[in-house]
Amino acid sequence: MRMRNKYRKPTTLRCNAGTRCSFPVLVWSLVGCLLMLHLYSLVRHKDGVGGEIQMHMDHHHHLFRELEEVEEEDIRIPPPKGKRSPRAAKRRPKRPTTLIDEFLDESSQLRHVFFPDEKTAIQPMKDAMNDSFYYYPGRIWLDTDGNPIQAHGGGILYDEKSRKYYWYGEFKDGPTYRAHKKAPARVDIIGVGCYSSKDLWTWKHEGIVLAAEETDETHDLHKSNVLERPKVIYNEKTGKYVMWMHVDDANYTKASVGVAVSDSPTGPFDYLYSKRPHGFDSRDMTIFKDDDGVAYLIYSSEDNSELHVGPLNPDYLDMPHVMRKILVGQHREAPAVFKYQGTYYMITSGCTGWAPNEALAHASESILGTWETIGNPCIGGNKVFRQTTFFAQSTFVLPLPELPGSFIFVADRWNPADLKDSRYVWLPLTVGGAADRPLDYNFGFPLWSRVSIYWHKRWRLPYMWTENK
């Protein structure tokens, strides 16, 4: 209980001659002014779009109402396979097994929960009509040839010319091994796989559009090196398709970006060079193309302790010496950037190797401005699912042109025991509502809307979207 000090004199401030102003009154007046300014800025922002926003939000809510009703998960950890002797238990008490332990244990009795077998695979060429266009996060996903899709750490490009989507990613259809005892699990570079689709569900394999170098050990793309997170954007001025990727050596000491270019979305892409952007180490990265055609490179740097953002040159083949450091000291990686109603958003993961961790959403009024963290975007599943990004890691956020303001969160569920068997987690993402962390900025009055990723074992896009395909 707080006691009042009866001997303390009231705090006052001199305002005008012969008057005294209470300090609390002054503080509350200041707070009121800030609140009015904040409300004015929100109203002014909304006025720029007029009634169109309200109409869109009503329409959007109607279409996504079903997807926002998330599913819960109740997964029971099985009892240990063998009993420990009392002497052994006393000597070294065993830590309780967690769901994350079960996820990482390739012999776990729950393995089928995280990595369902091929009997449950998504088969667009065979599935009956009542199962068409449904996504099953974590299941094997087959292409039109009946083979598992190999597009890990990837990104998706919508090509206006062909009116198709192109999904690029790491083609990991090889054995998993470790270069040495303490090295991370890896697969030799095979190349960048490309898949095309008109409906985002039925994917045709277009081949390896950027292949590994088999013989020249000095080449960046020699099979013994690392190629990760390829992203492709189209340059309207040059008519070229430009690919950026993370290239590294087996020990992750090169820490560079690589650039390749093609005249066609299906390649082949010609590899140009690698470099350390702005003179800094670069690992997990992505490319974001803004509405005005300016493209940006976003990458983890300084041993993954911060992110860097910088524009590319007009031809997208290099970058000027312009860069902004963001999320300094927060140790975030796997950036996935998107834009909604003039605000830039980004999903990132923590740095825990192949193990899953908690995603965070961030927002900024300018891509080169100050980025604020607005909380964990994951909704549904259970507490562990939300703290592990549904046992996956972000790689891309895909806007849906036919459903403005609607997105698909694209993530990888890594399988470090067998990387070619890593799975895809695609889930609906929306922007709206109060952010999780309003006190982190702006005197407690949040500027940002909440980013929400909804967990579903089985879901599909609204019929209106698929019917237009």
| 3-state SS, residue 339 | strand
Number of domains in the chain: 1
Instruction: Name the token pair of 295.
Output: 């493209």
3-state secondary structure of 466: helix
Q: Is the per-residue pLDDT at 404 higher than 80? A: no
62/79 Cα distance (integer angstroms): 44
Domain residues for 454? 97-465
Beta bridge partners of 53: none
User: What pLDDT, in 10s, does the model give residues 172-185?
Assistant: 999 999 988 888 99
pLDDT above 80 for 413: yes
Whether the pTM exceeds 0.75: the reply is: yes
Q: What percent of the chain has pLDDT over 70?
A: 78
Average pLDDT score over residue span 299-309: 98
pLDDT of residue 89: 53
User: Kind of pairing, strands 177-178 and 164-170?
Assistant: unpaired
- At 176, the amino acid letter reads T
| 8 Å CB contact between 191 and 246 | no
pLDDT band at 58 (very low <50, low <70, confident <90, very high): very low
pLDDT greater than 80 at residue 95: no
Residue 186 has pLDDT above 60, yes or no: yes
Q: Residue 96's pLDDT band (boundaries 50, 70, 90)?
A: confident
Mean pLDDT of 262-269: 98
Half-sphere exposure of 282 (CA within 13 A, CB side): 29
pLDDT at 67: 75
**Is 215 domain-assigned?**
yes
User: Would you give the DSSP letter of residue 60?
Assistant: H
Residue 77 lies in a domain: no
The residue assigned the tokens 């524009």 is 311
HSE-up (13 A, CA, CB side) for residue 123: 12
pLDDT at 391: 97
Specify the higher pLDDT residue, 186 or 464. Answer: 186
Single-letter amino acid, residue 442: N
More confident residue, 24 or 389: 389
Residue 319 lies in a domain: yes
- DSSP one-letter string for 131-193: GTT-B-TTS-BB-TTSSB---EEEEEEEETTTTEEEEEEE---S--EESSTTSPEE----EEE
Residue 29 lies in a domain: no
Examine residue 37 and state whether it is found in any structural domain, yes or no.
no
Residue 55 domain-assigned (yes or no): no
Q: What is the mean pLDDT of the chain?
A: 85
Residue, of 48 and 109, whose pLDDT is higher: 109
81, part of any domain:
no
With cut-offs at 50, 70 and 90, classify the pLDDT of residue 457: very high
Question: Which is more confident, 179 or 302?
Answer: 302
Tell which wins on pLDDT, 239 or 43: 239
Report angle CA 400, 406, 411 to the nearest 5 degrees: 80
With respect to residue 148, please indicate whether it lies within any of the assigned structural domains. Answer: yes
3-state secondary structure of 317: coil
CATH code at position 250: 2.115.10.20
- Strands ordered across the beta sheet of 295-301: 285-289, 295-301, 306-311, 324-326
H helix or E strand, kind and range, residue 257: strand 256-262
Burial of 180 (0-12, 13-18, 19+ CB in 10 A): exposed
